[in-house]
Structure 1
Amino acid sequence: MRHPARLERGSLLGGRYRIVSILGTGGMSHVYEAEDLKLPGKIWAIKESVTIMPYEGSMETEAALLTSLRHPRLPQIVDFFVPDEDGYTYLVMEYIDGLTLSEYFKQCRGKIPMEQLTELMLQLLDVLSYLHNLNPPVIYRDLKPSNIMITPEHEVRLIDFGIARSYKPQSAEDTVKLGTAGFAAPEQYGSGQTDARSDLYGLGALLLYLMTSGAYTEWIQGVESSIRSDVPRTYIPVARKLLRYNAEERFQSADEVRKELLRIPGGITPGGDATLTLNGGTRVIALTGASSGVGVTHTAIAISHYLERQNFKVAVIEMLPRSQSFARIQQIAQAGKPVPTGRQFAVDGVHYWKQSGRADILSLLGGSYQFIVMDLGSGQDQNRLEEFLRADLPIVIGSGAEWRQAEIGAFVRSHHRYPREKWIYCLPLAASEAVQRIRKALDTSSVYGLPLHIDPFDKDAQMDKVFSHILMHMMAQQPKKRSFFSRRKVHD
């Protein structure tokens, strides 16, 4: 670091932010922890950099870029201080609790558990897909362990956008050559302009680094002998393709990599059946209410039992710590029998998880479920909002009553910052005219009326027809489980 840290413990920035400690030092900046004097108890992270000359990675560029981004894996920017007379600039952003991947890697002694390694890759692909699909695309360019935060819930956050840039179709190569040796793509050193495939090279370098316990970040002779024994052999061609020198020979998009990772079987159960774990493509369906009392739990249960009847292994999760809905279902389902003390019970083949939190999600994703259905209720907090946004299929439940139809529009407007391409909207008991009206208002065809379905546990032909249409694409991607009876028929 060529420039000394300007701030110290107790320093006051902008008359509002009091420095608590220094969090870290990078090649071009310092990061501090600060308390907000206007919002007692609120903690922010402040990045201090020095601008000497105009260059593509300036703080002004980073601030403008970050304030335009909205994704749960990216930090929120709340304040920016332009360069002072000495060139010092300050960026005030969301404080993310946790460890850098570099620190977590050391804590695991170079061997992050495979379930977490795969989840890490999928989360990174999630945020890279968001960045690369912006117009113009945003290229991160510095995917390395020290720029990735791991929260206590094992959630991923990218924390440093110092050399990110928007893709310029008219440019032959980058104006500034930046990146971290070992993790940067060849084109970042002058052989061309960086694009989405440059970030995928960085992802490959990171994957290989974790697969070899930190020994390698590029594919060279002898690397295979250093790959951990617990890494599925099918990961090797994924890493090799990501690390091709020629960008044309790599995967061409984050979604393409994600599909390949999810295609890889997760392993063998003690019973001998090949199952789909997180590695093999557990799909998450998350339901939230545009307002209270619209039937989120009822619809979540109905979807779960529909999927089970299609011969998939399904869990439905109650993501409301104080809810008693699943507990009442368990009492009715097990009437006359002692009620177990655990949080998991089963009804007609569907596994119910009562009063679950984010800490439970990873263990369930690492199991053999093919579908996980989340009941998020209404009135989301930040954690439930992130689960909704991250789901493979986010479903908003709104009221079909005419006098309440404005609620779903208000819900969408309140979440306008987030991508909504995947969202599905369901209106229980809505008339066809109401469905058409809301499709027009939201400018999407993904609005469905749900017919009267008194018992969500039982088959209903009309409801099944709607669910089949909504879930057809997801079900087509999943092989169905083999039942005990089908196996017996083969042997008999």
Structure 2
Amino acid sequence: MEYPSKLFVGHMIGGRYKMIRKIGEGGMSHVYLAEDLKLPGKLWAIKESVSDPKLYSSIRDEAQLLISLSHARLPRIVDFFPPDNDGYTYLVMDYIQGITLEKYFSGYRGRIPMDSILQLADQLLEVLDYLHTHEPAVIFRDLKPSNIMLTEQLELRLIDFGIARNYKQEQTQDTVKLGTVGFAAPEQYGSGQSDARSDLYGFGALLLYLSTGGTSSEWTERAERNIRSDLPRQLIPIIRKLLQFAPENRYASAAEVRRELAAAIRQEPKPDPKRMRDIAGRISTQVIALLGAGGGTGTTHTAIAISHYLARSRSKVALVEMNVKSPSFRRIQQIVDGNKALAPGSRKFEVQGVDYWRQTARADVITLLSGSYDYVVIDLGTFRERERLEEFLRADIPVIVASGAEWRQQDILDMVHGLSRYPQQKWMYFLPLAGPDAVQRLRKQLNTSQVFSLPLHIDPFEKSEDMDRALQRIFQGILSGAQRRRRFRFGL
């Protein structure tokens, strides 16, 4: 930073905002988390910027720009302190809890779940459409991972309007050439004035960057070769058109791109949700994924019970733990091994005919699916761990485990609402120990008959007549492998 910050922990501005800690910096600005002393418990983000005296109007422009905007994916500006004698100025805006897309991407080592990429792309186009149809149109001009925040629910927010500007129709080129190399459109470097199509170029660069594991943000033959195999192929010509050098060769609006993306995704071939046969005629592996609507709902307990129910029908079953923070499988393995220290790399163990896979990565799951298992049951932990959402959505049988207590049913309603953009026809809802009234109430609220109560089952490893009857009733006509093996056994 060329200029040091005047703010520090405990410092107060405006007799109201008390600094708690620094939460970011970049370019010519620092960002602090501040407590509002007039609204106890309320937190704001304070952006401190430094401007050359000749450019004092730019920060005022940013403030006026933000004040004029109102969208759920944009921060609200609630206070503004104009430049002091040294050129320091302060914007008070919404504090958005979450992480930047840059950090989220880094945490995945460049392999964000494809469903998450498509979800973020749609959200970004939504807010760009709002900006571009604003009167006057607002051009963001700096779409990059560090300028995008993600909430815990993977909701997107644009956070830095430092170089955004209103589009001026009479202007032939930008007065100031700004934007991040690799994501900014060519016209932002002097070949013309940036407009809505410049942001669409930035959107295309960002989409390509996410789809190539961070290796490319400009369209080249090498970039196309690096595109992930799970990206819907119909999206490739869309990205290529977004990244055309000449603005007139790109899409005209964010709304148009959003329609094209939605149509391309709908055209992507979908796997048959029923059991499919491979070339050899063998019935392929069926995946059951369990996701808890909240903590303490019994997700792991239910996953174990289902796995051993299937194993007792002479099916070959793998139970996979993808909730890396859970100690459950480690404790089970220690008991199985006689409380000995676990050998490094020893993640597979067997209990009563079920293969347990502890703290398993997605690549390992793909390997299991190509193996000899009839069923792979995946324990995904709770909904808050959104990085495992893709496995839930791709499962043949997605199961949400929730509490039957009335005071906790809001957890499942919030979860379903948060995932409303995804098809939910085959989702099932399990409520351990819930009474008939709770089941009927949730069926009515969710408008589905796929809500089931599970009986008391103290030891999920052992057979329970009540639990077996419940699971047999729930899975009747769905679990092809178990039915096939039961028929074979009875024919002997």
Shared fold (TM-score, shorter chain, > 0.5): yes
- For 2:65 and 2:126, locate their aligned partners in 1 and report how far apart those are by CA, in whole Å: 19
2:422 paired residue among 350, 366, 369 = 366
Equivalent-residue separation in structure 1 for 2:11 and 2:56 (angstroms): 29
- In 2, Cα distance between equivalents of 1:182 and 1:125: 19
Question: Hey, what does 2:47 align to over in structure 1?
Answer: 47
Relative distance call for 1:57 and 1:2 in structure 2 (3 A) is farther
C-alpha spacing 1:369/1:142, structure 2 compared with 1 (3 Å): farther
Report the 3-state secondary structure (helix = DSSP H, G, I; strand = E; otherwise coil) of the residue aligned with 1:8.
coil
Distance of 1:7 and 1:73 partners within structure 2: 28
Deviation at 1:356, TM superposition (A): 4.1
Residue 241 of structure 2 is aligned to residue 241 of structure 1? yes
CA deviation string 1:336-362 (max 9, x = no partner)? xxxx98699xxxxxxxx9874443345
Aligned to 1:409: none
Q: Which residue does 1:176 correspond to in 2? A: 176
Query: Whose Rg is larger?
Result: 2
Residues of 1 paired with 2:137 and 2:255: CA distance?
Answer: 14
Matched, 1:37 2:44: no
> How far has the Cα of 1:235 moved from its partner?
1.3
Correspondence list, 1:73-222, <5 A:
73-222=73-222
8 A contact 1:57–1:162 mirrored in 2: no
Q: Report matched runs for 1:388-407 at 5 Å.
A: none
Are the equivalent residues in 1 in contact too, given 2:402–2:412 (CA < 8 A)? no
Match of 1:332 in 2: none
Mapped pair 1:4 → 2:7: no
Letter in 2 for 1:366: Y
State the match for 1:27 in structure 2: 27
Change (3 A) 1:272 1:245: farther
What letter corresponds to residue 207 of structure 2 in structure 1?
Answer: L
User: How far apart, CA to CA, are the structure 2 residues paired with 1:147 and 1:53?
Assistant: 26
Counterparts of residues 253-264 of structure 1 (less than 5 Å): 253-264=253-264
Aligned to 1:268: 270
Distance in 1 between residues matched to 2:41 and 2:258, nearest whole Å: 39
Could you say what the CA RMSD is over the residues aligned between the two structures, in angstroms? 2.7
**Change in 2 beyond 3 A, CA 1:57/1:145:** farther
Q: Counterparts in 2 of 1:445-464, with a 5 A limit?
A: none
Change (3 A) 1:263 1:341: closer
Check the 8 A contact 1:140/1:161 in 2, yes or no.
yes
Per the alignment, residue 18 of structure 1 pairs with 18
Counterpart-to-counterpart distance in 2, 1:91 and 1:357: 36
Secondary structure at the aligned position of 2:80 is classed as: strand
* Distance in 2 (alpha carbons) for counterparts of 1:45 and 1:143: 20
Structure 1 residues 341 and 152: alpha-carbon distance in aligned structure 2, compared to 1, 3 A threshold = closer
Q: CA separation in 2, counterparts of 1:85 and 1:198?
A: 36
* C-alpha deviation, 1:178, in angstroms: 0.6
Partner of 1:66: 66
Per-residue Cα deviation, 1:19-56 (whole angstroms, up to 9, x for no partner): 10101111111100000111110000000001113349
> What secondary structure sits across from 1:182 in the alignment?
coil
| Alignment partners' CA distance in 2, 1:105 and 1:57 | 35
Task: State the Cα deviation string for residues 152-180 of structure 1 (Å, max 9, x = none).
Answer: 01110000100000010111111111101
Identify if the C-alpha distance between structure 1 residues 364 and 67 changes in structure 2 by more than 3 Å, giving closer, same or farther.
Answer: closer
- Unpaired runs of 5+ residues, structure 1, are 274-339, 345-352, 371-455, 458-492
Partner SS for 1:46: strand
Deviations 1:376-402 (A, max 9, x none): xxxxxxxxxxxxxxxxxxxxxxxxxxx
Matches of 1:251 and 1:161 in 2, distance apart?
Answer: 23
How far the C-alpha of 1:227 sits from its partner, in A, is: 1.0
Aligned mates of 2:37, 2:403 — CA distance in 1: 42
CA distance in 1, matches of 2:413, 2:198: 36
Structure 2 residue matching 1:229: 3-state secondary structure? coil
AA matched with 1:136? P
